[in-house]
């Protein structure tokens, strides 16, 4: 079966990684299996793919995508911050390639059950993993104003964070904020973007990161990666905003200085004009790769 989902920077990734036919490949964010499918074609029956995702729908879809692969495959419902522990549980000591694509599919963003999009009015949820207890609505309705402003500023890099937090807290005194439409309309009252992006973009990013602890999970993966990789093994990370990219860049730099990594991509790799025209979400994607010494 061929993968219908076209993954970001797929051809670029294949050009820059080095992987043998019997390699162990860890896909930390399996999604629709696009990257995994392409890499599976490079693996023999001795090779293996271990795919992780918090979304059971994505795992089920990827199982179909990888059904005809020659290599072995194990798909696990788990956040990638627990990759190291899960590999031990599976009896896998080391991997040859780790990939983390930190983006989201349009299907996830537009899913009304997730409440992540300001384009349509839906319940304000934003959880990628339904086992997480706290939703975005919980945060905007209960977190103190100063802490809420910090979340919006630190995770969304939103300059109007104080004004947005103040407006949210004023509104919630009289009416709970339970929908994406309510939150989007509030942010639009104080944010001016000149039409370049929706006024709610940065606030929604901040809440999604907070709900899913995305930066904490990324930090844990980067911390564990040297223990997971075989010598000469590679870690590749595709990020979509500056917060993620700075964390990856700093981690690779520190590990290089410590003699742990060789940085394969001196500068982040980005999408070509052709890819951007075919897949606009690739415009902000940055790929960094490091190799374990």
Q: What is the dihedral of CA 192, 198, 199, 204, to 10 degrees?
A: -160
53 annotated as a binding-site residue:
yes
Residue 96 in marked binding region? no
CA distance 64 to 43: 18
Residue 26, judged by CB atoms within 10 A of its CB (0-12, 13-18, 19+), counts as: buried
Asked if residue 101 belongs to a known ligand binding site, the reply is yes
35 is in an annotated binding site: yes
**33 labelled as ligand-binding?**
yes
Asked if 42 and 73 touch (Cβ cutoff 8 Å), the reply is no
Whole-number Å distance between alpha carbons of 208 and 254: 28
| Residue 88 is labelled as binding a ligand | no
CA 71 to chain centre: 25
User: Is 34 known to sit in a ligand binding site?
Assistant: yes
Tokens of 74: 């194990």
Residues of each annotated binding site: 33-35, 53, 80, 101, 108
Residues of each annotated binding site for S-adenosyl-L-methionine: 33-35, 53, 80, 101, 108
């Amino acid at each position: 079966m061929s993968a219908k989902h076209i993954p970001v920077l797929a051809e670029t990734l294949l050009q820059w990684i080095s992987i043998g036919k019997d390699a162990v490949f860890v896909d930390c964010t399996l999604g629709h299996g696009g990257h995994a499918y392409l890499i599976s074609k490079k693996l023999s029956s001795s090779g293996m793919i271990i795919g992780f995702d918090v979304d059971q729908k994505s795992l089920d879809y990827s199982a179909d995508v990888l059904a005809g692969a020659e290599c072995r495959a194990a798909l696990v419902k788990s956040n990638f911050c627990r990759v190291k522990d899960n590999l031990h549980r599976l009896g896998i000591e080391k991997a040859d390639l780790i990939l983390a694509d930190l983006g989201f599919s349009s299907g996830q963003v537009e899913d009304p059950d997730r409440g992540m999009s300001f384009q349509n009015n839906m319940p304000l949820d934003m959880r990628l993993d339904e086992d997480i207890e706290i939703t975005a609505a919980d945060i905007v309705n209960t977190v103190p104003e100063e802490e809420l402003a910090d979340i919006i500023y630190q995770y969304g890099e939103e300059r109007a964070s104080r004004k947005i937090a103040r407006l949210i807290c004023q509104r919630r005194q009289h009416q709970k904020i339970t929908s994406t439409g309510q939150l989007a309309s509030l942010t639009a009252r104080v944010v001016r973007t000149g039409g370049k992006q929706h006024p709610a973009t940065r606030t929604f990013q901040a809440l999604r990161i907070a709900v899913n602890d995305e930066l904490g999970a990324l930090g844990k993966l980067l911390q564990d990666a040297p223990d997971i990789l075989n010598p000469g093994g590679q870690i590749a990370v595709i990020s979509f905003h500056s917060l993620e990219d700075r964390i990856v860049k700093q981690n690779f730099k520190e590990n290089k200085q410590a003699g742990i990594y060789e940085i394969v991509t001196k500068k982040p790799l980005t999408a070509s004009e052709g890819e951007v025209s075919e897949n606009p979400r690739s415009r902000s994607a940055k790929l960094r790769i490091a190799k374990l010494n």
